[in-house]
Structure 1
Amino acid sequence: MPASSQDTLLHIAERTHWESAHTAGVPYTMSTLGRTLDEEGFIHCSSDMTQVDGVLDRFYSGIDRADLVLLVIDTSRLDAPVRHEPVGDDVFPHVYGPIPLSAVIEVRSLPRKL
């Protein structure tokens, strides 16, 4: 049975970084575009597609969507804490540790920007 949306987080990943971690069999440790977990202190995530769309528009507008994937993360499989923290006028989930490969339950392509 798939996890409910309240039990999942979404993370925009650069395809090359995700594929590298997956191929090597190591936890995923990129926080956001060009920045690691060590540099940021947490991994940026979104609660829903509305947040994902806003993040894509604000921070990834110059990146080809074919170079990105959307990771669907099962929070029950995380070893690190998740904190929902204010960012501007919204609240975003942040994962304070690496994401085990087993926590990524789906990898989606991102729709092309219209």
Structure 2
Amino acid sequence: MSLYRDRDKSEAKAMRAIAKVRAANKEIKRLSAENADAQAKEAFALGKLEETLKIEGELRSENKRLEKNLAAARLSNDHLRDRYVPCPDHRDKHKTGDECLMCPLEPVLGKQTP
């Protein structure tokens, strides 16, 4: 009987060890799935970050272009303001050097004051 008892104990030990290995394998599979999910989320976030940085770069270059256009427009306005004066009939309705919206402007050689 001792032989049977030893064999039963060995089988019970082996069954417990197998159960532990199976539980460990399940845990490994669960952790692997979580890891894969986390990696997918990280890749998605990195993709969004790269897309955001690309858009930010495009916006910065567009902003620089618009700033250059604004500077050129201001320079052009200053140049036109020096060459044109309001007509005599509407001089009192707007500041000196501003464009008169009421009548056509006539070019002059220099800046004139009202």
Per residue, is there more strand in 1 or in 2?
Answer: 1
Higher relative contact order (CA 8 A, sep 6+): 1
User: Could you state the TM-score of these two structures normalised by the residue count of structure 1?
Assistant: 0.20
User: Could you state the TM-score of these two structures normalised by the residue count of structure 2?
Assistant: 0.20
